[in-house]
């Protein structure tokens, strides 16, 4: 892992070094998630197309959530009748 540092402004803003922005596809307007791990570290996760593609890939082949929801609601309707 490369070492880089930055300083917060009085408004709480932080500049991410250009090399990291380029490496991770961070551009103006890129959304970011803030996560805190069990050690108290703050993790910034840029929400880029690459990140969304990875998340969607993790869900591929998993359960069909819409189908599960519809089945659950059909069963609830049968119990109400």
Q: Over its length of 81 residues, how does the chain's per-residue pLDDT go in tens digits?
A: 578 899 999 999 999 999 999 998 899 999 998 999 999 999 998 888 877 777 776 666 666 666 777 787 787 777 665
Judge if pTM exceeds 0.75. Answer: no
As given in the structure block, the two tokens for residue 13 are 């803003």
Q: What is the pLDDT of residues 6-25, one digit of tens each?
A: 999 999 999 999 999 999 88
Query: How far from 63 is each of 56, 68, 70, 75, CA to CA, in Å?
Result: 13, 8, 13, 18
Query: How many CA atoms within 13 Å lie on the side-chain side of 5?
Result: 1
CB 26 within 8 A of CB 15: no
> Tell me, what's the pLDDT at 79?
66
Q: How far apart are CA 75 and CA 58, in angstroms?
A: 29
């Amino acid at each position: 892992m490369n070492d880089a540092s930055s300083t917060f402004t009085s408004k709480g803003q932080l500049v991410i070094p250009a090399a990291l922005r380029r490496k991770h596809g961070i551009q103006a307007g890129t959304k970011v998630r803030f996560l805190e791990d069990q050690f108290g570290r703050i993790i910034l996760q840029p929400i880029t197309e690459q990140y969304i593609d990875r998340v969607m890939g993790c869900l591929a082949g998993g359960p069909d959530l819409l189908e599960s929801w519809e089945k659950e609601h059909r069963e609830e309707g049968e119990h109400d009748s």
